[in-house]
Chain A
Amino acid sequence: MDIQALLIERIHRGDRSGAHALLDAWAAEYGYEHIPAEVLDPMLIQLGNEWSTSETFTLAQMYVAAKVTEDVLDKVSHLFKVPGEGKPPKGPVVIGNSEDDFHALGRHLVGTFLRAEGWDVHDLGNDVPAGRFVDMAQEVGARVIGVSAMMLTTALHIKKVREEIDRRGLTGLIQLAVGGSVFNVCPGLAEEVGADGTVANALKAAELFVRLGEQSVRKETGA
Chain B
Amino acid sequence: MNSMERIQATLAGKPLDRRAVAPVLGLYGARLTNCPLDRYYADPVAYVRGQAAVREMFQPDILYAPLAFASIGAAFGGELVHLDTMPPDLRTPAIQSIQQWNTLMPPDPDSHPQLLYFRDAIRLLAERFGSEVPIVIMVPIPTELPDMVMGLEGWLETVLFNPTAAQRVMDKVIPFYVRLVNGFFAAGASFVVMPCGFASSAIATRKMVSLFTRPVLLNVLAQLNGPVILQSMGAPMLDHLDLLTDVPRVSAFMVDQTDDLARARAVIGPDSVLFGGLDCTNIGRMTAAQVEEQSRAILEDRRQDPRFVLGTSGPDVAWHTPPENIHALRSAVDFFGKVTA
Contacts and interface: CB of A to CB of B under 8 A. Distances in A.
Interface string A180-199: 01100110010000000000
A86 interface: no
Contact of B234 (A17, A127, A185): A185
Interface string B125-162: 00000000000000000000000000111001101110
B153 A186 contact: no
A89 B86 CA distance: 40
B318 A102 contact: no
Interface string A47-89: 0000000110011110110010000000000000000000000
A97 to B, nearest CB: 11
Nearest to B87: A151
B81 A60 contact: no
Contacts, number: 77
A55 B204 contact: no
Contacts of B205: 12, 14, 58, 60-61
Interface residues of B, number: 33
Interface residues of A, number: 31
A90 interface: no
A108 interface: yes
A60 B161 CA distance: 11
Interface of A: 12-14, 16-17, 54-55, 58-61, 63-64, 67, 100, 102-105, 108, 126-127, 151-154, 181-182, 185-186, 189
Interface of B: 81, 83-86, 89-91, 151-153, 156-157, 159-161, 201-205, 207-208, 234, 236, 279, 281-282, 284-285, 314, 318-319
21 contacts: A58-B201, A58-B202, A58-B204, A59-B203, A60-B159, A60-B160, A60-B205, A60-B208, A63-B156, A63-B157, A100-B81, A100-B83, A102-B90, A102-B91, A104-B151, A104-B153, A105-B152, A127-B91, A181-B234, A185-B314, A186-B281
Given A12-B205, A102-B81, A186-B281, 18 more contacts: A14-B160, A14-B161, A55-B201, A58-B202, A60-B159, A61-B205, A63-B157, A64-B160, A100-B81, A102-B89, A105-B153, A151-B86, A151-B281, A152-B318, A153-B319, A154-B86, A185-B314, A186-B285
